[in-house]
A and B are shown apart, each in its own frame.
Chain A
Amino acid sequence: MSSSKEKPKDQQPKSAFSRRSWLQGAGVSGSVLTTGLLAEDAQAQTVANVMSGEVEITLDINGKKRSVKVEPRVTLLDALRNRLDMTGAKRVCDRGTCGACTVIVGGKVMYGCSVLAVDVVGKPIQTIEGLAPEGQLHPISKAFVNHDAQQCGYCTPGFIMATKGFLDRNPNPTVEQIDKGLSGNLCRCGTYMGMKAAVLEAAKEIKNG
């Protein structure tokens, strides 16, 4: 603990906790107190569920377990983009305002930029990459193409994931519900009219299987 504080912030050594890869063993329950503490690591016992420096965690992304080494400060978005080469979710405002980083965590839409990667261990994460596993476009993506619901396209992955989360909860949406349900995403090209039509079409397509 005290020794790690004196090191430069980016070069902290793996702590005793990361050597034990506690997160992998303990999930997010914080029950690491009961898992294989090293006998000589007396100091660690008092802070046994604290991690510092880089640790290896396992994320459940699109149904696959992915291991990734992150420091606690790394957001889910940066872990996806910079460590796992999944660049579908976009980094735009990085302050939970624009929605370009929208992913689905535990069935709920969230901003990948506003949650730490270490915070979502053990939770199912869906990203835009998981929507077209066989190269077949998802009905939402198809509807976005059909209705020209993008111009530059940078907001599109976020909008499509927000739409997925929205339609999962509201399979028969009204236009008013779409306005509210997708209010957490911005398109600076202004393709909202196309998007509303696309969301309505996607809802119909999904219902008809």
Chain B
Amino acid sequence: MDNFEYANPSTVKEALSLLTAGAEVLAGGTDLLSLLKDEVHKPKRLVNIKNIKALGGISKAGNNIRIGATVTLDELASSQLIRAAYPSLVQAALGITSPQIRNMGTVAGDLCQRPRCWYFRSGNGLLNKSLVENGENKYHAIFGTGSAQFVSASSLGPALMALGATVKIAGADGKTKDVPVAQFFKAPSAEGEREIALAANEIVTDILVPAPATKNATYEVRHKQALDWPLATASVALRMSGTKVTSASITLGHVGPTPVRATEAEKMLVGQTITADSAEKAGAAAVAGAKPLSQNAYKVQLAKVAVKRALLTAAGVKAV
């Protein structure tokens, strides 16, 4: 790891002024330190944002719940406010590897972490389509876009997207902007482009989650019970009138370079009751457009089952 400067601001304004060319934000560090050790990232300066009080805490903000950028995954999963309204977020957070990582990793860090693609992590770029297509691709995308065949590593992203959450970003000019989570993630089309809508001189300050007039759940399929990355996840949020769905939001995680919205499955569920049958059909619709690579067709089935089980969990119907 190359050496770097270390800055320790106590306000967002100060942090932004320290984010000069070649500087990067340091929060939990669980991903960033690995990237530094592997020399995938070589920042000149790290700006630690963990001591900025304004970036912590979970609170009610009007009709929204505000989650501070540096709230740890453990704090998120333990929060009574979150547990009461957003089981989907709790389930997604508890799926993130280990107690140690959840004590260190932050909510914004989960959104901003780099993809796990082994070609990217070994210095071969994020968009090396020929390596992915001709090489080992069992953990890669089944919903790839152009050269972007990696999967977004975020576990909270799909859940926040299904809940209609917004990312609040502070920029160097002192202005803030609200970006819907659905637009925060993007599939880069050129090497060097980021997979999130966050410039190097910007900081995520808060996540705003709208009031949950919904039933919501996340279901994750993983290889091991212990410390492991998800193979596929599905996050759902349902608005109901009695037992009938009035609107559904379904997002798949870890299957594409961004969280993947399953619009066909969403439409199909409107007016329906959630049963094993309707949930299964929604699962099939959610993966209808999948384009698996040579080694990962199995993920299509996993994603399909994840959608079905997330729907059944959200609706409180016993999984079968």
Which residues of A approach B to under 8 Å, CB–CB? 1, 5, 9-10, 12, 28-31, 47, 49-53, 71-73, 75, 94-97, 99, 102, 108-111, 113-116, 118-119, 162, 165-166, 179, 181, 183-186
CB-based contact A110/B3 at 8 Å: no
Which residues from chain B sit less than 8 Å from chain A, CB to CB? 1-10, 14, 18, 26, 29-30, 33-34, 36-37, 44-46, 48, 50-51, 74, 97-101, 103-104, 225-227
Query: Is the beta-carbon distance between B51 and A73 smaller than 8 angstroms?
Result: no
Please determine whether B5 and A72 come into contact, CB atoms closer than 8 angstroms: yes
- Bound together, the chains give a CA A26 to CA B99 distance in angstroms of 30
Task: Decide yes or no: A30 and B6 within 8 Å by CB, A108-B103, A111-B101, A184-B97 being known contacts.
Answer: no
Instruction: Out of B18, B34, B46, name the residue touching A72 (CB < 8 Å).
Output: B46
Q: How many A-B contacts at CB < 8 Å in the complex? A: 116
Nearest chain B residue, comparing its CB with the CB of A112: B100
Contact of B29 among A97, A116, A183 (CB under 8 A): A116
- Residues in A whose Cβ lies below 8 Å from that of B98: 99, 183-185
Contact A108–B74 (Cβ < 8 Å): yes
Given A30-B51, A114-B29, A114-B30, A49-B103 contact (CB < 8 Å): no
Chain B minimum-CB-distance residue to A179:
B225
A72 touching B6, Cβ below 8 Å: yes
| B10 near A30: Cβ-Cβ < 8 Å | yes
Tell me which residues across on chain A come within 8 A of B1, comparing CB atoms: 73
- Contacts A9-B2, A111-B30, A119-B29 aside, 6 further interface pairs with beta carbons under 8 A come to A47-B7, A71-B3, A73-B2, A116-B33, A181-B99, A183-B98
Give chain B nearest CB distance to A106 CB in angstroms: 9
Bound together, the chains give a CA A94 to CA B98 distance in angstroms of 15
A114 touches B9 (CB 8 A): no
A7 CB to closest chain B CB (Å) equals: 10
B4, B26, B33, B98 — which one has the most chain A CB atoms within 10 A of its CB? B98
Bound form: Cα–Cα A95–B1 in Å: 13
Question: Which residues in B have their C-beta under 8 angstroms from that of A114?
Answer: 29-30, 33-34, 100, 104
Which chain B residues lie closer than 8 Å to A119 at the CB level? 26, 29, 48, 50
Contact at A109–B100, with CB atoms within 8 Å?
A: yes
- Which chain B residues border A185 with CB–CB below 8 Å? 98
Partner of A97, one of B2, B45, B227: B227
> Which of B5, B10, B100, B103 contacts A50 (CB under 8 A)?
B5
Q: Which residues of B contact A113 (CB under 8 A)?
A: 33
